[in-house]
């Protein structure tokens, strides 16, 4: 399956909303059935929030790596490449000034 950046973002956002709704549904049903009290429900919600933050960070990292791969495959210069070339250019300018 070939996914582009837009596809990955849509999947991530869609999954987040779906998961949030399902978790809320599950917790509300468990509270109604008496399987969870208010404190347990709140603890579960907090745990799910922490887990979702971790998942979002993982998705961001994955997207960042995929973008890097795509940029490398296109042969585009990175910010580091440009900074390195600026530094080299400045060094060459300084060398030329010193030779005069």
Q: How far is CA 12 from the centre of its chain?
A: 9
What is the domain extent for residue 10?
5-99
Collapsed DSSP state (helix, strand, coil) of residue 9: helix
pTM, 2 dp: 0.48
Long-range CB pairs of 35-44 (<8 Å, 24+ gap) are none
Could you read off the pLDDT of 56-70 as tens digits, one per residue?
A: 788 888 888 888 888
Q: How many domains, the chain?
A: 1
Question: 75-98 burial, b if ≥16 CB within 10 A, otherwise e?
Answer: eeeeeeeeeeeeeeeeeeeeeeee
Could you read off the pLDDT of 8-50 as tens digits, one per residue?
A: 666 666 666 666 777 778 777 878 888 878 888 778 778 877 8
State the greatest distance between any 2 C-alpha atoms of the chain, in Å, as a whole number: 87
């Amino acid at each position: 399956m070939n996914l582009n950046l837009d596809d990955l973002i849509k999947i991530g956002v869609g999954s987040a909303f779906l998961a949030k709704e399902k978790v809320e549904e599950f917790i509300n049903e468990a509270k109604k059935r008496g399987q969870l009290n208010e404190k347990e429900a709140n603890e579960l919600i907090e745990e799910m929030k922490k887990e979702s933050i971790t998942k979002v960070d993982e998705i961001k990292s994955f997207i960042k790596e995929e973008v890097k791969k795509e940029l490398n495959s296109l042969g585009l210069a990175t910010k580091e490449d440009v900074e390195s070339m600026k530094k080299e250019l400045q060094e060459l300018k300084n060398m030329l000034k010193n030779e005069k």
